[in-house]
Chain A
Amino acid sequence: MPDIDFEFIVIHLPHYGRALLLTLALGLGAILGSLLVGLPGSLILHFRAPVLRRVVAAYVEFSRNTPLLAQLFFLYFGLPAVGIKWSGFTCALTGLTFLGGGYMIEALRAGIEAVGRPQIESALSIGLSRPQIARLVVLPQALASAVPALAANCIFLLKETSVVGIIAVADLMHLTQGLIGLYYKTTESLLLLVAGYVILIVPVSLLFSRLEKAVRRAEFG
């Protein structure tokens, strides 16, 4: 067991605090953004909106089948060539949202599809309109059955933030790589890194597993 330089840890704790906040902001922003993309996207797929549905389907394929790294490079190094220059953070947030949106669309679409045709017919038979059926019957059940997949996507996005250092965003991973390069304090830096991700992800994970249980109890026994 190597000696641990506690002084190093204490000195750099504030840096990790800042990087943690930035990573959190990036992760939560991406989660929120991708849910905002996911909901309308999944509805467009479900209701087979003409034309739009093709656009959404193409987007889902594209976002899920290109590496985030490539998406970030394109945003950070490619866009300036056409006169669009965004900060690293904006590029990272956009890239993660673009990636997460595709995954959220798929998770929500699967949830919507799990609500069977007979449920919709029984809603129709009491005179509910299509928008009412979507809001009052389909979406509550779809969200409930999509919770596990949504949770997996959220944690996936939080972890994916670790590549944004490549476009100079000072997240946890970027900070750690920098410190290792400067001081060779690999063990200490990695300890701080792991602690940072645990602080970031464990609460989210716990939150979702409680949500999952609550939803299952409320909806399906």
Chain B
Amino acid sequence: MTTTANAPVLIDAACVTKFYDTRKALDNVSLAIHAKEVVVILGPSGCGKSTFLRCLNGLETVQAGSIRFHGRDLARPGTDWRPVRQRIGMVFQSYELFPHLSVRDNLLLGPVHVQKRPRAEALRQAEGLLERVGLADRLDSFPRQLSGGQKQRIAIVRALSMNPEVMLFDEVTAALDPEMVREVLDVILGLARNGMTMVIVTHEMGFARAVADRIVFMDEGRICETNTPVKFFTAPDTDRAKRFLSRFLY
């Protein structure tokens, strides 16, 4: 959406290699994410998209390579991930709101218990964010009372209420009924317009094209192609990407 090539690099992953037991899930993946950039990762199932995102906030450990963030290498053993995770928010496919807590308490958990912010201030911010995603009246609801699309928007707000610098989205509309996909994608588009740095994994090709500054195409644990959205969707450089895209033509 914006030209970001000259912006400073926020996360710099270099030669990241990850094994699950003997199975190589990431093979020498290098990707620099610039401030305010929206990177969309595409690729066939099992190519390592989720694994890569999870490595960026320490849900998986890597066996080789480096992930530089604010001057530190997160890939080194002994990294204290808790401060990092406050700056790199993540939203999951299955929402994972806390079912025993109201929307209010879901949103306050991080700001109050992790960041030790005053409850009243955190609540004001949460209310503002809820307003932005169109759910201002849902503060007292429980997750079970919400639709999938509403849950996912709350999950996005939960991550945003930590004031992260980067947001990671892993197929956040994949579990939704088609009529709810739009409301969630609109929220993400809004974030992009406001200059949020994001790494997005999605199977929604139209959305990818609309939101991305850069498309990263992965296959078999490797980055095959990095391109602008226009070029990627009209004339991709690699045959693998062509074959991948042909599957989305009806």
Which residues does A use to contact B, with CB under 8 Å? 118-119, 121-129, 132, 136-137, 140-141, 144, 218-221
Which residues does B use to contact A, with CB under 8 Å? 57-59, 81-83, 85-86, 89-90, 92, 94, 96-100, 109-110, 113-115, 142, 144-145, 155, 158-159, 162
Known: A128-B113, A132-B113, A137-B98. 17 other contacts (CB 8 A): A118-B96, A122-B92, A122-B98, A122-B155, A124-B81, A125-B57, A126-B89, A126-B114, A127-B86, A127-B114, A128-B82, A128-B109, A129-B114, A136-B113, A140-B100, A141-B99, A219-B100
Most buried by B among A126, A132, A136, A219: A126
A144 to B144, CA, bound (A): 15
Q: Which of A118, A122, A123, A127 contacts B162, CB < 8 Å?
A: A127
Which residues of B have CB within 8 Å of A121?
A: 59, 92, 96
Q: Which of A136, A141, A219, A220 contacts B109, CB < 8 Å?
A: A136
Whether A119 pairs with B96 at a CB distance below 8 angstroms is yes
Which residues of A have CB within 8 Å of B115?
A: 127
A132 to B109, CA, bound (A): 10
Which residues of B have CB within 8 Å of A219?
A: 99-100
Minimal beta-carbon separation of B14 from chain A (angstroms):
23
A129 to B114, CA, bound (A): 8
Q: Which of A118, A125, A141 contacts B159, CB < 8 Å?
A: A125
Q: Which of A126, A129, A132 contacts B158, CB < 8 Å?
A: A126
Chain A, Cβ-Cβ closest to B144:
A221
9 closest Cβ pairs, A-B complex: A122-B96, A126-B110, A221-B144, A127-B114, A125-B90, A127-B86, A127-B85, A127-B82, A140-B100
Minimal beta-carbon separation of B123 from chain A (angstroms):
16
A123 to B155, CA, bound (A): 11
Minimal beta-carbon separation of A135 from chain B (angstroms):
9
Q: Which of A124, A132, A220 contacts B99, CB < 8 Å?
A: A220
Which residues of B have CB within 8 Å of A123?
A: 98
A41 to B109, CA, bound (A): 27
Whether A218 pairs with B100 at a CB distance below 8 angstroms is yes
Minimal beta-carbon separation of A50 from chain B (angstroms):
19
Which residues of B have CB within 8 Å of A129?
A: 82, 114
Whether A125 pairs with B89 at a CB distance below 8 angstroms is yes
What are 22 pairs between A and B in contact, CB < 8 Å? Answer: A121-B59, A122-B92, A122-B98, A125-B57, A125-B59, A126-B89, A126-B159, A127-B83, A127-B115, A127-B162, A128-B109, A128-B113, A128-B114, A132-B113, A132-B114, A141-B98, A144-B100, A218-B100, A219-B99, A221-B142, A221-B144, A221-B145
Which residues of A have CB within 8 Å of B57?
A: 125
A199 to B114, CA, bound (A): 48
Which residues of B have CB within 8 Å of A221?
A: 142, 144-145
Whether A127 pairs with B98 at a CB distance below 8 angstroms is no
Which residues of B have CB within 8 Å of A144?
A: 100
Minimal beta-carbon separation of A161 from chain B (angstroms):
34
A1 to B85, CA, bound (A): 75
Whether A220 pairs with B85 at a CB distance below 8 angstroms is no
A220 to B58, CA, bound (A): 30
Which residues of A have CB within 8 Å of B97?
A: 122
Whether B113 pairs with A125 at a CB distance below 8 angstroms is no
Minimal beta-carbon separation of B68 from chain A (angstroms):
20
A124 to B83, CA, bound (A): 11
Whether B110 pairs with A127 at a CB distance below 8 angstroms is yes
A210 to B143, CA, bound (A): 23
Most buried by B among A118, A125, A129, A219: A125
Which residues of B have CB within 8 Å of A128?
A: 82, 109-110, 113-114
Minimal beta-carbon separation of A133 from chain B (angstroms):
10
A119 to B110, CA, bound (A): 14
Q: Which of B86, B96, B144 contacts A220, CB < 8 Å?
A: B144
Minimal beta-carbon separation of A67 from chain B (angstroms):
38
A115 to B27, CA, bound (A): 32
A118 to B50, CA, bound (A): 13
A127 to B57, CA, bound (A): 10
